[in-house]
Amino acid sequence: MQRESSRLIDLGFRFSAIILALLFTTLVLLVAGAPPIEAFRHIILGSVGSVGKISDVLVAWVPLLLATAGLLVTFSAGLWNIGIEGQITLGAIFTTGALRALQASSLPPAASIAVAVLAGAVGGALWALLAGALKTYGGVNEIFGGLGLDFVATALTLWLIFGPWKRPGVGSMSGTEPFDVTLWLPLFPGLRLSPWALVIGLGGIVVVYLLLQGTYFGLKLKAVGRNHRAAFLSGIPTSRYMMLSFLICGSLAGLAGAVQVTAVYHRLIPSISSGYGWLGLLVSMLVNFQVVPAAFVAFFFAALNIGSIQLPIVLKLDSTLSGVLQGSLVLFVLAMEGARRRLVRLREG
């Protein structure tokens, strides 16, 4: 039947995109003079080869999951929230600030950590609202507004690390003074992974799933994103919904930053956002903005990142190979999608 064959064609195109991405990456490896099969093998081993490695993947998964979850909300509203990196950073800054303020107080450590994590969400939300305001009231496209704020966030981080929050002595790129162990999110014994971080990450994606799939807000947001004018004509306050989507995304991004500080680095470092914002954008595009596949692809991308850490050690290759694979995947999926649609049109017309 017509639909059967078109679904097969869909899958065919998508599959060929994956093949092409793998071929491209293989080509790149060959150009670099590296053995492709070895490289892939090391990536796989380096990510799922042991319990320790898998837990490292999960450590990377959490912030990526949170960033992606947030982005799915803004994408639903039709927005390109390039400012996500800055929002993660501000979350980390607020969290660090809160911990610094509370570490000397009499508050029990668990409470301090909880307050600090919430502060992170607030920080990210505020930064996102700024980008939203620039767009709604300043007419600045959210891509450039977001970028500008990303840069400001970077500058802010550097100022704090080398200025008011610098380590005793001389400020250095290694960041602020690490927090005492009591102010760390508790970890699984022997691993770098925190169960609390997992809870936050999974909680984030579940909340977003429920929000987008199950609530009126999510449905209205989808309407705004798909057809701003028609949504407006049907009575939805479109500007308010766009700002709300920024708020939600910023909070989740802020949580990602909070997790980075309380569970991973235990201090503020210059690139605390670690590119999870950019990666989240790629994940979202790859899964065509669907929540459930996003969680899996985020895991896959996190695994690629962690696995690639092996490459400099065993093969003297740079770990950015993961970026090449991730980027080319999205690129070929986009290209194949365009080719498929063109084929469909040619057949019809």
Partner 1 sequence: MDLAAIIIGLAGVMATAAPVIFATVGETLSERSGVINLSVNGTIILSAMTSFAVAVSTESLFLGFVAGMIVGALVALIVAFTSLTLHQSQVAVGFVLTLTTASLAYFLGNPIMGLSGPRVRSLPLPLLSEIPILGPLFFQHTPLVYLSYLLIAGAWFWIFKTRPGLMLQGVGERPAAAFARGGNVRRLRYFYTILGGALVGLAGPTYSLGVKAGWKGTISGLDGIGWIALALTIFGGWDPLRAALGAYLFALLQWLGLVLQPSLPGIPSQVLQVAPFPLMILTLLLVTIGNADWVSRTLAGLPEDARRLVTRGLRSLYVSPPAGLGTPFEKE
Partner 2 sequence: MDVELKNIQKWFGPVHANDGISLKVEAGTIQGILGENGAGKSTLMKVLSGFIDADSGEIVLGGKSARIGSPADAIRHGVGMLHQDPLDFPPMQVIDDFLIGADGSILPGRSSARREFIELAERFGFSIDPNNYVSSLTVGERQQLEILRLLWLGVNVLILDEPTTGISAPQRVKLFGTLHLLAEQGKAILFVSHKLEEVEGLCSRVAVLRRGKLVGEAKAPYRTSELVEMMFGKEVSLADRAPAGEGEPVIELRGLAVEDFKLSVRGVDFQLKAGETLGLAGMEGSGQRLLLQACAGLIRPVAGQVIVGAHDLTGRHYHNFMQRGVSYMPASRLEEGLISGLTLAEHFILGQNIRRTFVDWRAGLDLANQRIAEFSIRGTPTTRVEALSGGNQQRAMLALLKTPLKLLLMEHPTRGLDIESAIWIWGKLKERCQLGTAIIFISSDLDELLHYSDRILVFFGGMVSRPLDASATTVEQLGELIGGVGLN
Angle at 108 (CA atoms; ends 103, 109), nearest 5 degrees: 55
Which of partner 2, partner 1, none does residue 296 bind (CB under 5 to 8 Å by kind)? none
Which of 230, 314, 334, 344 is the binder for partner 2 (CB under 8 A)? Answer: 230
Site residues for partner 2, 35-74, by CB under 8 A, read none
**Cβ within 8 Å of residue 292, ≥6 positions away:** 209
- Long-range CB contacts (within 8 A, 24+) of 338-342: 339/13, 340/9, 340/10, 340/13
Q: What is the DSSP letter of 49?
A: S
Check: CB of residue 146 under 8 Å from CB of residue 82: yes
Whole-number Å distance between alpha carbons of 70 and 221:
13
| Residue 217 binds partner 2 (CB under 8 A) | yes
Whole-number Å distance between alpha carbons of 59 and 198:
8
| Residue 248 binds partner 2 (CB under 8 A) | no
Give the count of alpha carbons within 13 A of 51, CB side only: 4
Span near partner 2 by CB under 8 A; candidates 68-76, 121-129, 138-146, 209-217: 209-217
Which of 37, 235, 346, 347 is the binder for partner 2 (CB under 8 A)? Answer: 235
| Residue 207 binds partner 2 (CB under 8 A) | no
CB nearer partner 2, residue 166 or residue 222: 222
Tell the smallest beta-carbon distance from residue 61 to partner 1 (Å): 19
| Residue 216 binds partner 2 (CB under 8 A) | yes
The label of the residue with tokens 């966030």 reads 153
Which of 154, 203, 232, 290 is the binder for partner 1 (CB under 8 A)? Answer: 154
> In this structure, what token pair is assigned to residue 210?
């429920």
CB nearer partner 1, residue 103 or residue 320: 320
Whole-number Å distance between alpha carbons of 100 and 105:
10
Helix, coil or strand: residue 269: coil
Whole-number Å distance between alpha carbons of 203 and 184:
20
| Residue 140 binds partner 1 (CB under 8 A) | yes
Q: How many residues does the chain have?
A: 349
> How many residues bind partner 2, per CB under 8 A?
20
Span near partner 1 by CB under 8 A; candidates 179-187, 228-236, 251-259, 281-289: 281-289
Which of 158, 199, 292, 313 is the binder for partner 1 (CB under 8 A)? Answer: 158
> In this structure, what token pair is assigned to residue 68?
């992606």
| Residue 219 binds partner 2 (CB under 8 A) | yes
Whole-number Å distance between alpha carbons of 194 and 196:
5
Span near partner 1 by CB under 8 A; candidates 65-73, 112-120, 224-232, 333-341: 333-341
Binding site for partner 2 (CB under 8 A): 210, 214-220, 222-223, 226-227, 229-235, 237
Residues that bind partner 1 (CB under 8 A): 28, 31-32, 80, 82, 134, 137-140, 143-145, 147-149, 151-152, 154-155, 158-159, 161-163, 171, 278, 281-282, 285, 316-318, 320-324, 326-328, 330-331, 334-335, 337-339, 341-342
